Protein backbone atom coordinates (compact mmCIF):
# COMPACT_ATOMS: atom_id res chain seq x y z
CA UNK A 1 0.00 0.00 0.00
CA UNK A 2 1.50 3.33 -1.12
CA UNK A 3 0.69 6.07 1.43
CA UNK A 4 1.54 9.77 1.19
CA UNK A 5 1.28 12.27 4.05
CA UNK A 6 0.62 15.87 3.03
CA UNK A 7 -0.84 19.07 4.42
CA UNK A 8 -4.63 19.04 4.53
CA UNK A 9 -6.57 21.21 2.14
CA UNK A 10 -10.11 22.55 2.15
CA UNK A 11 -11.14 19.78 -0.27
CA UNK A 12 -10.28 17.24 2.48
CA UNK A 13 -12.87 18.55 4.98
CA UNK A 14 -15.69 16.18 4.01
CA UNK A 15 -13.60 13.02 4.35
CA UNK A 16 -12.04 14.24 7.61
CA UNK A 17 -15.58 14.72 8.90
CA UNK A 18 -16.55 11.21 7.75
CA UNK A 19 -13.56 9.66 9.52
CA UNK A 20 -14.38 11.57 12.72
CA UNK A 21 -17.98 10.37 12.52
CA UNK A 22 -16.63 6.82 12.97
CA UNK A 23 -15.50 7.93 16.44
CA UNK A 24 -17.93 10.63 17.55
CA UNK A 25 -21.03 12.20 16.04
CA UNK A 26 -20.98 15.97 15.62
CA UNK A 27 -23.18 18.14 13.44
CA UNK A 28 -21.46 18.39 10.03
CA UNK A 29 -21.73 22.17 9.57
CA UNK A 30 -20.23 22.85 12.99
CA UNK A 31 -17.35 20.44 12.43
CA UNK A 32 -16.73 21.85 8.94
CA UNK A 33 -16.63 25.37 10.39
CA UNK A 34 -14.08 24.32 13.05
CA UNK A 35 -11.94 22.41 10.54
CA UNK A 36 -11.99 25.42 8.22
CA UNK A 37 -10.85 27.64 11.11
CA UNK A 38 -8.06 25.18 11.90
CA UNK A 39 -6.85 25.19 8.29
CA UNK A 40 -6.58 28.98 8.46
CA UNK A 41 -4.89 29.10 11.89
CA UNK A 42 -1.33 30.23 12.52
CA UNK A 43 -1.15 27.78 15.42
CA UNK A 44 -2.58 24.58 13.94
CA UNK A 45 -1.62 22.41 11.00
CA UNK A 46 -3.72 19.50 9.73
CA UNK A 47 -2.03 16.70 7.86
CA UNK A 48 -3.69 13.87 5.94
CA UNK A 49 -2.61 10.38 4.93
CA UNK A 50 -3.64 9.52 1.39
CA UNK A 51 -3.61 6.28 -0.59
CA UNK A 52 -4.98 5.86 -4.10
CA UNK A 53 -6.15 9.48 -4.02
CA UNK A 54 -8.31 8.83 -0.92
CA UNK A 55 -7.77 10.39 2.51
CA UNK A 56 -7.51 7.55 5.04
CA UNK A 57 -6.38 9.43 8.14
CA UNK A 58 -5.47 12.82 9.55
CA UNK A 59 -3.69 14.54 12.40
CA UNK A 60 -3.75 18.00 13.94
CA UNK A 61 -0.50 19.57 15.15
CA UNK A 62 -0.71 22.64 17.36
CA UNK A 63 2.45 24.74 17.44
CA UNK A 64 2.35 27.27 20.23
CA UNK A 65 4.87 29.79 21.55
CA UNK A 66 6.38 28.64 24.85
CA UNK A 67 7.21 31.68 26.94
CA UNK A 68 9.02 29.58 29.56
CA UNK A 69 12.00 28.65 27.38
CA UNK A 70 11.38 30.90 24.39
CA UNK A 71 10.81 28.01 21.99
CA UNK A 72 7.68 26.39 20.66
CA UNK A 73 5.76 23.42 21.95
CA UNK A 74 3.90 21.02 19.73
CA UNK A 75 0.71 19.22 20.68
CA UNK A 76 -0.30 16.27 18.54
CA UNK A 77 -4.02 15.62 18.73
CA UNK A 78 -6.92 14.49 16.59
CA UNK A 79 -4.88 11.66 15.09
CA UNK A 80 -7.45 9.38 13.49
CA UNK A 81 -7.20 6.66 10.90
CA UNK A 82 -10.19 5.21 9.07
CA UNK A 83 -11.20 1.83 10.54
CA UNK A 84 -10.17 -0.25 7.53
CA UNK A 85 -6.62 1.19 7.52
CA UNK A 86 -5.81 0.84 11.21
CA UNK A 87 -2.84 -1.34 12.19
CA UNK A 88 -1.07 -0.62 8.89
CA UNK A 89 1.37 2.00 10.20
CA UNK A 90 -0.69 5.00 9.08
CA UNK A 91 -0.79 6.55 12.56
CA UNK A 92 2.99 6.23 12.85
CA UNK A 93 3.43 7.86 9.46
CA UNK A 94 1.20 10.77 10.45
CA UNK A 95 2.96 11.31 13.78
CA UNK A 96 6.45 11.02 12.28
CA UNK A 97 5.47 13.52 9.58
CA UNK A 98 4.15 15.89 12.26
CA UNK A 99 7.39 15.55 14.23
CA UNK A 100 9.41 16.39 11.11
CA UNK A 101 7.24 19.37 10.27
CA UNK A 102 7.34 20.50 13.88
CA UNK A 103 11.13 20.59 13.83
CA UNK A 104 10.90 22.96 10.84
CA UNK A 105 8.59 25.19 12.92
CA UNK A 106 11.20 25.22 15.70
CA UNK A 107 9.24 23.02 18.10
CA UNK A 108 11.50 21.79 20.88
CA UNK A 109 8.92 19.92 23.01
CA UNK A 110 6.18 17.62 21.73
CA UNK A 111 3.13 16.38 23.59
CA UNK A 112 0.54 13.81 22.58
CA UNK A 113 -2.95 14.71 23.78
CA UNK A 114 -5.40 11.83 23.93
CA UNK A 115 -7.79 10.05 26.21
CA UNK A 116 -5.61 8.06 28.65
CA UNK A 117 -7.98 5.09 28.14
CA UNK A 118 -6.99 4.98 24.46
CA UNK A 119 -4.45 2.22 25.01
CA UNK A 120 -3.53 1.96 21.32
CA UNK A 121 -2.71 5.68 21.05
CA UNK A 122 -0.67 5.65 24.26
CA UNK A 123 1.29 2.59 23.07
CA UNK A 124 1.85 4.19 19.64
CA UNK A 125 3.29 7.38 21.13
CA UNK A 126 5.46 5.46 23.60
CA UNK A 127 6.73 3.33 20.71
CA UNK A 128 7.72 6.54 18.91
CA UNK A 129 9.77 7.79 21.87
CA UNK A 130 7.24 9.73 23.94
CA UNK A 131 7.99 8.84 27.53
CA UNK A 132 7.31 11.57 30.07
CA UNK A 133 3.72 11.65 31.21
CA UNK A 134 2.09 14.92 32.20
CA UNK A 135 -1.35 15.59 33.55
CA UNK A 136 -3.92 17.72 31.79
CA UNK A 137 -7.12 18.33 33.70
CA UNK A 138 -10.39 19.03 31.92
CA UNK A 139 -13.32 21.21 32.94
CA UNK A 140 -16.50 21.28 30.92
| CATH classification at residue 64 | 3.40.630.30
- CA-nearest of 9, 12, 7 to 82 is 12
Number of compact structural domains in the chain = 1
As a whole number, the mean pLDDT across the chain is: 89
- Given a cut of 80, is residue 23 above it in pLDDT? no
Please list, in sequence order, all residues whose beta carbon lies within 8 angstroms of the beta carbon of residue 101, skipping any fewer than 6 positions away. Answer: 45, 47, 61
Residue 116 lies in a domain: yes
Cβ atoms 50, 11 nearer than 8 A = no
Mean pLDDT across 82-107: 94
Residue 67 lies in a domain: yes
Residue 118 lies in a domain: yes
Residue 35's pLDDT is: 81
Domain containing 8: what range? 4-127
Residue 133 lies in a domain: no
- Given a cut of 80, is residue 1 above it in pLDDT? no
- CA-nearest of 24, 99, 30 to 61 is 99
Angle at 125 between CA 25 and CA 98, to 5 degrees: 80
Residue 135 lies in a domain: no
Amino acid sequence: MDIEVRLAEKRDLDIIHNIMEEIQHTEANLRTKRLDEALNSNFATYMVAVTGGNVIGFLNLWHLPDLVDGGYLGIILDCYVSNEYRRHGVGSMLINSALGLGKKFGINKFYGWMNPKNVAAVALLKGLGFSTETLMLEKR
